[in-house]
Amino acid sequence: MAGTATFASEPAHGPSHQYAVGTPDLVDAACNAAEAAFWSYGYSSRQDRAAFLNAIADEIELRGPAITEIRTQETGLPVARLEGELGRTIGQLRLFASHILQGDYLDQRNDPALPDRKPAPRPDLKLVQRPIGPVAVFGASNFPLAFSTAGGDTAAALAAGCPVVVKGHSAHPGTGEIIAEAIHAAISRCGVHPGVFSLIQGGKRDVGTSLVQHPLINAVGFTGSLAGGRALFDLCAQRPNPIPFFGELGSVNPMFLLPAAVANRGGEIATGWAASMTMGAGQFCTNPGIAVLIDRPDADVFSDAATQALKATGAQTMLTDGIADAYRHGRDRVAGARGVSELLTTTCNMRNATPYLYATTGQAWLANEALGEEVFGPLGLIVRVKDQAEMVEVATTLKGQLTCTLHIDPDDTGMAKKLMPVLERKAGRILANGFPTGVEVCDSMVHGGPYPASTNLERPLWAHLRSAGSCARFATRVFPTA
């Protein structure tokens, strides 16, 4: 929705453009339009909603070249990465369309009547998921398509029958605007109520606050920082009628390297870790920032290999000046912590990011909770623990994570069995002999974890695809009786 005031974009390269600034009044208009749309869209057929989702995918696909051009300018991300994300976004929309046609998400149940039951008869009881009404979605900075204007949150809500008001991220307003145009083209094509989708961009903090606190909003989806997400989460809880907040807030995604794996292939694991850590300038929610291993001679092989692999990584452009500045502050926090030593230090300025690598002991880690806080960028910390018991202790002190990884060989099975009961309570997803960057779009993939990784543990990819069954998260259960 557009107002009269504008703000200028801050692209990584190319021309800056002006975009309409959101206001609380525009938020109110968008929410009222969404409520008006709900009375038809919320009661539309699954076939009609699937056709609408597929039409959105079609319209985005038609605009592919224009989307890629503006996204490369705004984000500085490489074309190949952005084209892959475009395909993923289109695929998510089509997957949701297919999923709702199957109807499994409705979770339909029926307990037939028992009229002759003693001492009291039972009526016929039915359960089915129904949409809850207008939903607010906050776009992510690091994924301008897959987790933003028409990303997983929006797709999930529309699939469930919920109109959406999106607060676009200021890092990529041009991308958001083109996607919004695609959605409105699909609205016209399918004859859907125009209030089913609105995009509000720019504005001060009061714009986001007014959206979360608007009485017609029934749930909020968010992907971003811990500080920003927690502020919105608290606003949702403080409303006169509290509403669900589905937020992904941050994770360091620790890897635990067990002794046999390090001895047999420590250098190979280190090289893979460096590649995963620096992918996309480290701007992934599943970026593996911590490696934990026992302090033995072969740990040096791992450290040396990681250092050499990271040295070969050049400067990369970060999404915004603010993100680049936060990365440097995170670097300074880690580098200045007691018991931390530098393995690789580089120089980065302005919007560029270069990798950093540090090492510390298990004892220092346990004494400094701040070492477990996320640094959004290509920074790694190796934690060398004295023995298996201290490795388990490090795992026990972890905050909630999106992922934890075990690098294991057959001789590590006994130790892995000691770690698994701890890690399965710390993370939404546990990997074996892999790296967490890369989230598969499918029903079995979980993208969530204990707080502060996310605000609800069992999110089947609701944050990124918020997969198949995830549209049920925008629904309530209804128990009618005969």
369 is catalytic: no
Cα 220 from Cα 132, distance rounded (Å): 12
Q: Please state, as a whole number, how many other Cβ atoms lie within 10 Å of the Cβ of residue 102.
A: 10
Cα 333 from Cα 327, distance rounded (Å): 10
Retrieve residue 21's tokens. Answer: 């600034």
Taking a C-beta distance cutoff of 8 angstroms, is the pair 435, 272 a contact?
yes
**What is the secondary structure of 254-276 as a DSSP string?**
-EEE-HHHHHHHHHHHHHHHHHH
Shortest CA distance to 320 belongs to which of 85, 87, 144, 154? Answer: 144
Q: CA 312: distance to chain centroid?
A: 29
Q: Please list the helix, strand and coil fractions of the chain in percent, rounded to the nearest 5, in that order.
A: 45, 20, 35
Q: CA 237: distance to chain centroid?
A: 21
Annotated catalytic residue: which of 236, 285, 348, 471? 285
DSSP state of 457: S
Annotated catalytic residue: which of 59, 177, 248, 374? 248
Cα 304 from Cα 290, distance rounded (Å): 16
Handedness of CA 149, 239, 224, 435 (dihedral sign): negative
* Alpha-carbon separation of residue 478 from 104, 108, 128, 168, 396 (angstroms): 16, 10, 6, 33, 40
| Residue 475, C-beta contacts closer than 8 angstroms, at least 6 positions apart | 105, 129, 130, 131, 132, 160, 161
Shortest CA distance to 287 belongs to which of 385, 152, 402, 172? Answer: 402
The number of C-alpha atoms within 13 Å of 376 and in the hemisphere containing its C-beta is 19
| Geometric angle at alpha carbon 227, from 136 and 34, rounded to 5° | 5
162 is catalytic: no
Retrieve residue 394's tokens. Answer: 């490090």
The number of C-alpha atoms within 13 Å of 83 and in the hemisphere containing its C-beta is 5
Which amino acid belongs to residue 8? A
Residues classed as catalytic? 248, 285
